[in-house]
Amino acid sequence: MKVIIIGGGIVGLSTAWALARSGHEALLFEQGPLPHEGGASYDQHRLIRLPYSDQPGYCAMTVDALKAWQRMWDDLGESHYAEVGSLALSTEEGDWADQSRQTLDHLGLDYETLDHKQIEALCPFMKAPAQAWGLYNTTGGVLFASRIVDSLIRDLRRRGVTLRDESRVVGVDPAAGAVTLANGRRETAEAIVVCAGAWTAKLFPELARRAVPHRQVVAYMEPPERHAASWAKAPVMVHLLNEVDIYAAPPAGGTELKFGCGQHRRPGDPDRLDPLRPNEAAEVASAFAPLLRDFDDYKVLRGQVCPYAVSPDERFVTENNGPILMIGGCSGHMFKFGAVMGEQLARTATGATNFKSFRLWAEGRHQTLTPE
Ligand SMILES: Cc1cc2nc3c(=O)[nH]c(=O)nc-3n(C[C@H](O)[C@H](O)[C@H](O)COP(=O)(O)OP(=O)(O)OC[C@H]3O[C@@H](n4cnc5c(N)ncnc54)[C@H](O)[C@@H]3O)c2cc1C
């Protein structure tokens, strides 16, 4: 079956990979170059972690995601993942980490709780709040995002999959199963998968409130020399404070230390994102000040601006209209599902899974993949 894919980020590339593996013909259009460094998927790292607050659907999906990544590494002949584990901090009953613990219990998934001393033994660079306990999982870690994207592009080209860069789709016609490109050309297929990231609402303006384009900034950091060795062995860190959603990607596998802060995001047109402001990366990093020893000795290396589409409840947005299958509103948490999402989009586009099941699963409302 011939399937057109709109968008060459992690979702589109993984879908092309899954289609090619199951003997289908994929034709992918990317408006920018390939890889597209201006999309949401091209950064040194993205985190994968089991704790998912009170959302058992996405927590269980992460277990499936890890299996799908393993299938991808086996297929590509190289792994782009460092299983360094994850740490979240709880300071109040019912907060993010505490709810995540209850969800892990509900699903029977392993974790350890760490007291204050154990947190500081695991992460000696940390100054954890006195009342904090840690939710520690040995499963989870760092996905080397840009290496995955590069590797998929090489693999798809080797397989003969057609990847058309600099090819913006400006119209989608469900009745004809056709897309129109900016140069006026039309292409038809039996199915069309739309995974256009922050640009989704440009193709489907009716989704403007459900897949809201945002601008986010991450800060690349150099830790002080005395903490470099412990950072190099650190788990990924999420939800460290109640007031702000901050996370850290440790410098695993030759990457650099990165800090992010959920609250820093702002709505923004992905074609006209404001450039980085002076000191903006330092502002993002400053959210870590209460938690790190010797914070003043950390050096900001640079900031990076990134577009992504956020849905109001951060559940992924899916739509189906005739041959069109759309996924958007991937918010700050789709990368970890890249491989498994590609597999499920490929199955749904080719009729092996029905859209209703796919939607429930993608919205995080199933605890396991629907048996096929
Ligand atoms: C700062 C930041 C940190 C994050 N951290 C994590 C994390 O730790 N873990 C995690 O799981 N997720 C994380 N995410 C979320 C994750 O990165 C995104 O959800 C994911 O990369 C989205 O992938 P995508 O393929 O949907 O979008 P993109 O990678 O943006 O790809 C969409 C592509 O579609 C192309 N396109 C759009 N419109 C058209 C068109 N009309 N014609 C042709 N091409 C088109 C675009 O050019 C783009 O290349 C983070 C996001 C950000 C911004």
Q: Percentage of the chain surpassing pLDDT 70?
A: 98
Distance 226 CA to ligand 1 centre (A): 35
Q: Are 136 and 121 in contact (CB under 8 A)?
A: no
Residues 340 and 225 in one domain: no
Q: Look at residues 310, 328, 351 and tell me which one is the last residue of a structural domain.
A: 310
174 domain-assigned: yes
Q: Across the chain, how many H-helices and E-strands are there? A: 10, 21
Residue position matching structure tokens 């016609």: 173
Which among 4, 46, 314 is the best mutation to test ligand 1's pocket, defined by most ligand atoms within 8 Å of the CB? 46
Going 165 to 329 to 60 to 131, the CA torsion angle's sign is positive
The C-alpha atoms of residue 52 and residue 306 are separated, in whole angstroms, by: 23
User: What is the per-residue pLDDT for 263?
Assistant: 93
The C-alpha atoms of residue 29 and residue 180 are separated, in whole angstroms, by: 11
Give the residue, by CA position, lying nearest to ligand 1 atom 27: 197
Residues 262 and 221 in one domain: yes
Give the residue, by CA position, lying nearest to ligand 1 atom 31: 9
Q: Are 13 and 40 in contact (CB under 8 A)?
A: no
Q: Look at residues 290, 310, 330 and tell me which one is the last residue of a structural domain.
A: 310
pLDDT (tens digit, 0 to 9) for every residue of the chain, 372 residues total?
Answer: 999 999 999 999 999 999 999 999 999 999 999 999 999 999 999 999 999 999 999 999 999 999 999 999 999 999 999 999 999 999 999 999 999 999 999 999 999 999 999 999 999 999 999 899 999 999 999 999 999 999 999 999 999 999 999 999 999 999 999 999 999 999 999 999 999 999 999 999 999 999 999 999 999 999 999 999 999 999 999 998 888 899 999 999 999 999 999 999 999 999 999 999 999 999 999 999 999 999 999 999 999 999 999 999 999 999 999 999 999 999 999 999 999 999 999 999 999 999 999 999 999 998 654 433
Closest CA to 182 of 203, 206, 156: 203
- Cα dihedral 212, 57, 146, 319 in deg (nearest 10): -40
369 domain-assigned: no
Distance 193 CA to ligand 1 centre (A): 15
DSSP string, 317-338: EEEEETTEEEEE-BGGG-GGGH
DSSP string, 242-282: SSS-EEEE--GGG--EEEEEGGG-EE--TTSPPPPPTTHHH
Residues 156 and 302 in one domain: no
Query: Strand order in 46-48's β-sheet?
Result: 46-48, 141-143, 81-82
Going 59 to 61 to 66 to 69, the CA torsion angle's sign is negative
Which among 17, 31, 255, 305 is the best mutation to test ligand 1's pocket, defined by most ligand atoms within 8 Å of the CB? 31
Q: Cα-flanking dihedrals φ and ψ of residue 171, to 5°?
A: -155, 145
Q: DSSP letter at 239?
A: -
The C-alpha atoms of residue 369 and residue 343 are separated, in whole angstroms, by: 11
104 domain-assigned: yes
The pLDDT tens digits of the residues spanning 231-277 come to 999 999 999 888 889 999 999 999 999 999 999 999 999 999 999 99
Residues 223 and 306 in one domain: yes
- Coil, strand or helix at 160: coil
Give the residue, by CA position, lying nearest to ligand 1 atom 19: 334
Going 347 to 40 to 111 to 228, the CA torsion angle's sign is positive
Number of domains observed in the structure of the chain = 2
CATH number at residue 339: 3.50.50.60
Which among 5, 11, 166, 302 is the best mutation to test ligand 1's pocket, defined by most ligand atoms within 8 Å of the CB? 11
Residues 184 and 323 in one domain: yes
Q: Are 128 and 237 in contact (CB under 8 A)?
A: no
57 domain-assigned: no
Residues 10 and 87 in one domain: no
Residues 300 and 159 in one domain: no
CATH number at residue 104: 3.30.9.10
Atom of ligand 1 nearest to the CA of 217: 1
Joined together, the tokens standing for residue 138 give: 């040995």
Residues 301 and 349 in one domain: no
The C-alpha atoms of residue 200 and residue 185 are separated, in whole angstroms, by: 20
Residues 218 and 118 in one domain: yes
Q: DSSP letter at 315?
A: P
Query: What's the residue count for the chain?
Result: 372
348 domain-assigned: yes
Q: Are 280 and 303 in contact (CB under 8 A)?
A: yes
Closest CA to 231 of 142, 306, 336, 131: 142
The C-alpha atoms of residue 141 and residue 143 are separated, in whole angstroms, by: 7
Pairing of strands 2-6, 191-194: parallel
Residues 216 and 73 in one domain: yes
The C-alpha atoms of residue 330 and residue 252 are separated, in whole angstroms, by: 25
User: What is the per-residue pLDDT for 242?
Assistant: 83
Domain interval for residue 190? 2-46+145-209+313-362
Atom of ligand 1 nearest to the CA of 47: 8
Atom of ligand 1 nearest to the CA of 42: 29
Exposure string for 234-267, b = 16+ CB within 10 A, e = fewer: bbbbbbbbeeebbbbbbbbbebebbbbbbebbee
21 domain-assigned: yes
User: What is the per-residue pLDDT for 243?
Assistant: 82
Distance 332 CA to ligand 1 centre (A): 9
177 domain-assigned: yes
Residues 163 and 273 in one domain: no
The C-alpha atoms of residue 72 and residue 361 are separated, in whole angstroms, by: 21
The C-alpha atoms of residue 130 and residue 322 are separated, in whole angstroms, by: 56
Joined together, the tokens standing for residue 328 give: 């958007």
CA angle 45, 47, 49 (to 5 degrees): 160
Atom of ligand 1 nearest to the CA of 337: 11
Give the residue, by CA position, lying nearest to ligand 1 atom 51: 332
Residues 226 and 293 in one domain: yes
Give the residue, by CA position, lying nearest to ligand 1 atom 25: 9
53 domain-assigned: no
Going 109 to 115 to 116 to 120, the CA torsion angle's sign is negative
Atom of ligand 1 nearest to the CA of 168: 42
